[in-house]
Chains A and B, each alone.
Chain A
Amino acid sequence: MLDASPAPLVKVRDLKMYFPIHTGVLRRHTGDVKAVDGVSFDIMAGETLGLVGESGCGKSTVGRALIRLYEPTAGEVEIAGDNILTLAPEALRKKRPQMQMVFQDPQASLNPRMTLAQIIGEPLIEHSGKTATDRLARIYELMDQVGLNRRFANRYPHEFSGGQRQRIGIARALALNPKFIVCDEPIAALDVSIQAQVVNLLEDLQDRLGLTYLFISHDLSMVRHIADRVAVMYLGRIAELSPRDALYAKPLHPYAEALLSAVPEPDPDREGSRQRIILKGDVPSPANPPKGCAFCTRCPKVMDICRTDRPALTEVEPGRQVACHLFPTTSAPAKSTSGGQYQLQQHGV
């Protein structure tokens, strides 16, 4: 089992996405919002990589840049063998069906003037040579898959609840048999009692269709449930990337540690006895990130070097990558204690 390491479906290397800032009457280019500033990771086929971090840290930008909804500033992205960022327009169009996105706000991402069947069927018109009859059959099949009653095919988005609208968004994303789906906060706008319905659906679909997910969320409990590995972002960079159980048991990066300690748990006894790391101050602006480590202005364990040198994301334990000067910078050989099970994530960068 352990040796059968699946190949990465998605490879991201040193991805950068800078948004230019223009100021003054002449709209001169005076700086950049470094929304994503050198991010690298792999996602194995069939895996769910969780991407967590606080608002504005660059999660959505990573997701969009990855499938080229943005034109990234620099970096490489390989999805199912193709170098996404260098594809010519026609090749990119042909590639689109393989990589899809599910958005946070189902309301805003669905055209209010289209019926459910039109919304789900739209990608089929654009990308498949199916006849109208075949298309309708596929639309019904998709509705079945996501648990939408076929009778609703001719209704409009506003007639549905938030959870149902999210099902419509998922059905649409599935229409062209994608391999990879970026789920950008797919449950953030939903009520607690509806979130589990949608997450279970995403998990079922993954099992049945062999999907690979990038699951973006700020809900750390939900990410623990759904993800195999988790990347923690801070100010455009990855602070830590670890297998889920290892991360939640013992986060290594001081930011990951503070973030997890801040999540309240629905248990009065545990809450009463918990030691919480309260971070001082706010996140710096991505237009003007601190020199050195992005977290150095708030880190409880900050050292001199952190204010001058940017730590690289390095493997500090088998399968665990951390960008922090507290950890030795050279990739240590696999320690005997926690070997094997993290083989999956070992790769040459």
Chain B
Amino acid sequence: MPDGGDAVLDVRGLKTVFRTRGGEVHAVNRVSFHLNRGELLGVVGESGSGKSVTMMSLIGLLPSPPAEVRAGEVWLGGRDILKISARDLREVRGAKVGFVFQDPMTSLNPVFQVGFQIMEPLIRHMGLSKDQARKRAVELLDLVGIPDASSRLDSYPHQFSGGMRQRVMIAIALACDPDVLIADEPTTALDVTIQAQILELVKELRQKLGMAIIWITHDLGVIAGIADRVMVMYGGQVVEHGPVKALFARPQHPYTRALLKTVPSLTGAREARLQVIEGQPPIMMEDPTSCPFAPRCAHAFLRCEEENPLRRAVDDKTLLKGHDVACHWEAVNG
């Protein structure tokens, strides 16, 4: 790996399109990234930038049709899981990858007690007996900070608050001790004080369990607080990627730079006027032959219209290695 890490997941050149009546939606284009053991990769981008579709594609969770994973490799546990049978893939999903979604109510089954929902994968994928699974379920609820865990096993999802449900989801995702935990906007629907509880929990869990995590969010603040590396997506592509400190201290892509400037600050000098990113996000109805950000970019020039930029390493001697950007324009670093 470029940063010398030990990758548990390696995604190369992923491309996913949706066939719709209006034409093809190029939702994800040549997306590549890896995830090292024990690290947390943050994925940021606005809605529609391709974050969820990327993660759903790599684990075969998109309905096809309309979705089609048209190109790419996804290496997990020594295999390209885009090439394995549906049955094997289901096994991988259950045992190697845990998922947490934004809205726990869509993934928790409202008619089953949460204890059952935690125990079920343990029995199915880990071969535990019912008693063992029950014991493990209590441990898991305890681990994610649900008070009085053993008596909560018999509760139904609606009997938990939003924050507690998200804890239950995390417990389920962790049940089979996955290599990779993918959390897709898990705190977006929660209030900030509850979000703070969940972020604290994740920090604790990382210390205890050391698993690798992909954390999707549109909140740059959340990323700054928990990520080791960050990947910025725009228009279905990775426009910038790097170690969290490098990316925040020296953002290279005009989109990343604009994004960091457009959010008002909570501390420090108060901006008299907010910086605006003019225009609208792209609709992605064509295979992109130009830079997707070009129409909104203050630095765009002819080449940006003619050629979709590839990711290139950022030459930055003062900071950590592994920073790259997909942009023809060279940012001047102070």
- A: residues with CB less than 8 A from B are 54-55, 161, 163, 191-197, 199-200, 203, 218, 220-222, 224-225, 245, 248, 258-272, 276, 278-279, 282
Neighbouring B residues of A278 by C-beta, 8 Å: 193, 196-197, 200
Tell me whether A191 and B46 are in contact in the complex, defined as CB-CB below 8 angstroms, given that A264-B222, A265-B221, A269-B245 are known contacts: yes
Assembled-state Cα–Cα distance A281/B47 (Å): 30
Tell me whether A265 and B200 are in contact in the complex, defined as CB-CB below 8 angstroms, given that A193-B277, A200-B273 are known contacts: no
Assembled-state Cα–Cα distance A243/B193 (Å): 22
Task: Please give the distance in Å from A169's CB to the nearest CB on chain B.
Answer: 17
Contact residues of B between 256 and 281, Cβ < 8 Å to A? 258-260, 262-267, 270-271, 273-278, 280-281
Do residues B276 and A196 form an inter-chain contact, with CB atoms below 8 A? yes
- CB < 8 Å: which of A245, A248, A262, A272 contacts B195? A262
Extra A-B contacts (18), CB below 8 Å, given A265-B224, A268-B248, A282-B163: A192-B220, A192-B259, A193-B46, A193-B258, A193-B281, A200-B273, A200-B274, A218-B192, A224-B265, A224-B266, A225-B274, A266-B220, A266-B248, A266-B260, A266-B263, A271-B221, A278-B200, A282-B161
Interface check B244, CB cutoff 8 A: yes
Do residues A221 and B192 form an inter-chain contact, with CB atoms below 8 A? no
Task: Please give the distance in Å from A293's CB to the nearest CB on chain B.
Answer: 16
Do residues B224 and A263 form an inter-chain contact, with CB atoms below 8 A? no
Assembled-state Cα–Cα distance A266/B266 (Å): 9
Do residues B221 and A200 form an inter-chain contact, with CB atoms below 8 A? no
Contact with A along B205-244 (1 / 0, CB 8 A): 0000000000000111111110000000000000000001
Interface check B164, CB cutoff 8 A: yes
Task: Please give the distance in Å from B20's CB to the nearest CB on chain A.
Answer: 16
Do residues A191 and B192 form an inter-chain contact, with CB atoms below 8 A? no
Interface check B191, CB cutoff 8 A: yes
Residue of B nearest to A266 (CB): B220
Assembled-state Cα–Cα distance A184/B290 (Å): 38
Do residues A54 and B224 form an inter-chain contact, with CB atoms below 8 A? no
Interface check B199, CB cutoff 8 A: yes
Assembled-state Cα–Cα distance A193/B49 (Å): 12
Contact residues of B between 108 and 159, Cβ < 8 Å to A? none
Interface check B92, CB cutoff 8 A: no
- B: residues with CB less than 8 A from A are 46-47, 161, 163-164, 191-197, 199-200, 218-225, 244-245, 248, 258-260, 262-267, 270-271, 273-278, 280-281
- CB < 8 Å: which of B193, B196, B262, B265 contacts A265? B265
Task: Please give the distance in Å from A272's CB to the nearest CB on chain B.
Answer: 8
The interface centre, meaning the residue of B164, B224, B259, B278 with most chain A CB atoms within 10 A of its CB, is: B224
Task: Please give the distance in Å from B40's CB to the nearest CB on chain A.
Answer: 12
**Would you list 5 pairs from A and B whose C-beta atoms are within 8 A, ordered by A residue?**
A194-B277, A199-B274, A262-B196, A263-B192, A268-B245
- CB < 8 Å: which of B164, B248, B265, B281 contacts A191? B281
Residue of A nearest to B243 (CB): A268
Assembled-state Cα–Cα distance A222/B262 (Å): 10
Task: Please give the distance in Å from B45's CB to the nearest CB on chain A.
Answer: 10
Task: Please give the distance in Å from B26's CB to the nearest CB on chain A.
Answer: 19
Assembled-state Cα–Cα distance A263/B224 (Å): 12
Neighbouring A residues of B195 by C-beta, 8 Å: 262, 264
CB contacts between A and B, total, < 8 Å: 119
Task: Please give the distance in Å from A228's CB to the nearest CB on chain B.
Answer: 12
Residue of B nearest to A57 (CB): B191
Do residues A200 and B276 form an inter-chain contact, with CB atoms below 8 A? yes
Neighbouring A residues of B277 by C-beta, 8 Å: 193-194, 196-197
Do residues A279 and B197 form an inter-chain contact, with CB atoms below 8 A? yes
The interface centre, meaning the residue of A200, A222, A282 with most chain B CB atoms within 10 A of its CB, is: A282
Neighbouring B residues of A200 by C-beta, 8 Å: 273-274, 276
Neighbouring B residues of A259 by C-beta, 8 Å: 192-193
Task: Please give the distance in Å from B92's CB to the nearest CB on chain A.
Answer: 32
Tell me whether A191 and B218 are in contact in the complex, defined as CB-CB below 8 angstroms, given that A262-B196, A278-B200 are known contacts: yes
Residue of A nearest to B222 (CB): A264
Neighbouring B residues of A264 by C-beta, 8 Å: 195-196, 199, 219, 221-222, 224-225
Task: Please give the distance in Å from B263's CB to the nearest CB on chain A.
Answer: 6
Residue of A nearest to B147 (CB): A281
Do residues A268 and B264 form an inter-chain contact, with CB atoms below 8 A? no
Neighbouring A residues of B196 by C-beta, 8 Å: 261-262, 264, 276, 278-279
Neighbouring A residues of B197 by C-beta, 8 Å: 278-279
Assembled-state Cα–Cα distance A282/B190 (Å): 11
Task: Please give the distance in Å from B174's CB to the nearest CB on chain A.
Answer: 20
The interface centre, meaning the residue of B225, B248, B278 with most chain A CB atoms within 10 A of its CB, is: B225
Assembled-state Cα–Cα distance A305/B270 (Å): 38
Assembled-state Cα–Cα distance A262/B192 (Å): 6
Do residues A267 and B248 form an inter-chain contact, with CB atoms below 8 A? yes
Residue of A nearest to B187 (CB): A264
Neighbouring A residues of B220 by C-beta, 8 Å: 192, 266
Assembled-state Cα–Cα distance A268/B221 (Å): 8
Tell me whether A268 and B274 are in contact in the complex, defined as CB-CB below 8 angstroms, given that A220-B266, A224-B266 are known contacts: no
- CB < 8 Å: which of B191, B224, B270, B281 contacts A225? B270
The interface centre, meaning the residue of A191, A193, A194, A263 with most chain B CB atoms within 10 A of its CB, is: A193
The interface centre, meaning the residue of B260, B267, B275 with most chain A CB atoms within 10 A of its CB, is: B267
Assembled-state Cα–Cα distance A245/B270 (Å): 9
Neighbouring B residues of A267 by C-beta, 8 Å: 224, 248
- CB < 8 Å: which of B193, B265, B270 contacts A262? B193
Do residues A282 and B266 form an inter-chain contact, with CB atoms below 8 A? no
Neighbouring A residues of B258 by C-beta, 8 Å: 193
Neighbouring B residues of A55 by C-beta, 8 Å: 191
Do residues B259 and A193 form an inter-chain contact, with CB atoms below 8 A? yes
Assembled-state Cα–Cα distance A159/B161 (Å): 37
Neighbouring A residues of B194 by C-beta, 8 Å: 54, 282
Neighbouring A residues of B218 by C-beta, 8 Å: 191-192
